[in-house]
Structures are given as C-alpha cells and as structure tokens.
Structure 1
Amino acid sequence: MAKSTKAAAKPAPAAKAPPAPVKAAAETSEKIAKTQIIDMVADRTSLNKKQAGESVAVMLDVVVEALKEGKSVGLPGLGTFSVAKTAARQGVRPGTSEKITIPAGKKVRFKVASTLKGNL
C-alpha cells in the first residue's frame, strides 16, 4: 500500500508580520509617572518644567490635605475622591488559618465622573 500525499496538500503556514518597532520602556508601561505628568503639563502650558513640577506637587498636596481632613475632592471631568470609614471585621491570617480581628479604619474611595466613564 502506498502512503497518501495528504501531508503535501497542507497549506504553508502564514508568514509572520514583522515585529513592531521597539519602544522605550516608559512608552510601553501602562502607568504614567509623576515626572511624565510634569513633562505633559510643561508641554501643554507656558510653564517650564520646574514650575510645572511645583504646580503638580502643590495640587497633589492640596488633595491629600483635604482627604486627611475628611473632605471630598471633586475634579470635574475626572471624578471625586472621598474618605470612607470601614467597620471592624473578622479575617483569616493567610498560611495559618488563624482568625484575627481587623480593626476599623478609613480608606480613600474614588467615583469616576460620568463624562469620563462615557468616554472610556
């Protein structure tokens, strides 16, 4: 009996597309660093990098101080930061399965603005 030649009838594998150009590590990351924000602010305004850095730092300080005071911070087009109290609760220590009490505390919550949510 002769072997069939079905193997020869298989189509050739598709040629692979050439690899994409290598980008800088900062461009491929999904996170934007504070220095990158400063650069963007400086590029889009008449501020130099030092002034833009001071502006960004002051804005972040104002937001943090307001949250420490228990106030909510609304940023139009972005969303609202607020502080929420958490109740004490029971938890389990990983690895030992020991039951522990997690004390009450506070956490920062963020609610996305509807305009941003609609544009994502």
Structure 2
Amino acid sequence: MSKAEFISNVAAAGDMSNAEAKRMVELVFGEIEAGLKRAKKDGKYTIGTFGTFTITKRPARKGRNPRTGEEIKIKASKSLRFRPSSNLKAAAGIK
C-alpha cells in the first residue's frame, strides 16, 4: 500500500478530507520518529495497544562475498524492529 492509498483510507474511515487525513498521518509518523529519537537510552518506543519499536545494534562481523568467496568486513549498524502488541495480533487473526 502506498502512502497516498493509506491517507485515502484514513480519510474515508475518518470522514475527513484527504488534506486533513494527510496532516493526521504526518503527525502520527512524526511522533513515532521523535519518540525513537528520544528513546536512544533504552532503544524502545511503545505505543499502548499497537506495539513496540526497538532500535537494535548489530556488531561488526566478517562475511563472505557470495560471488568470489572472498572474506569481507561488515560494518556495525543499527536496525529498527517492530513487535506488534497482542491486541494488534488478535485483530489481524494471528495467535
């Protein structure tokens, strides 16, 4: 689903214009981004009955180039993960 489709669905469900829905969606996404920036200490940002966003750290490691078999160094990195709440899983029909 594209962002435009998502905004259209929110507008239809909320009985509002696309402009209002876009503003609401941008506010929600902006708050998630700001929450993740604030959550640098423990790396978690939880939204009640929706789920938890977690920033994980991957250490540097060695890997292999699949084409040549040559050993390469992979830099340390950060990754973003999402774990849905039990309410969200139940709404999606997942146990």
TM-score, normalising length: structure 1? 0.64
Specify which of 99, 105, 120 is matched with residue 71 of structure 2.
Answer: 99
Question: Which structure has the larger Rg?
Answer: 1
- Percent identity, please: 30
Provide runs of 4+ in structure 1 moved above 3 Å. none
Give the equivalent residue in structure 1 for 2:33: 64
How far apart, CA to CA, are the structure 2 residues paired with 1:78 and 1:33?
20
RMSD: 1.8
Instruction: Kindly state the Cα deviation for residue 46 of structure 1 after the two structures are TM-superposed.
Output: 4.0
Q: CA deviation at 1:91?
A: 0.7
Q: Which amino acid aligns with 1:85?
A: K
Determine helix, strand or coil for the equivalent of 2:68: coil
Partner of 1:88: 60
- Taking a change above 3 Å as real, the CA distance of residues 94 and 68 of structure 1, as seen in their structure-2 partners, is farther
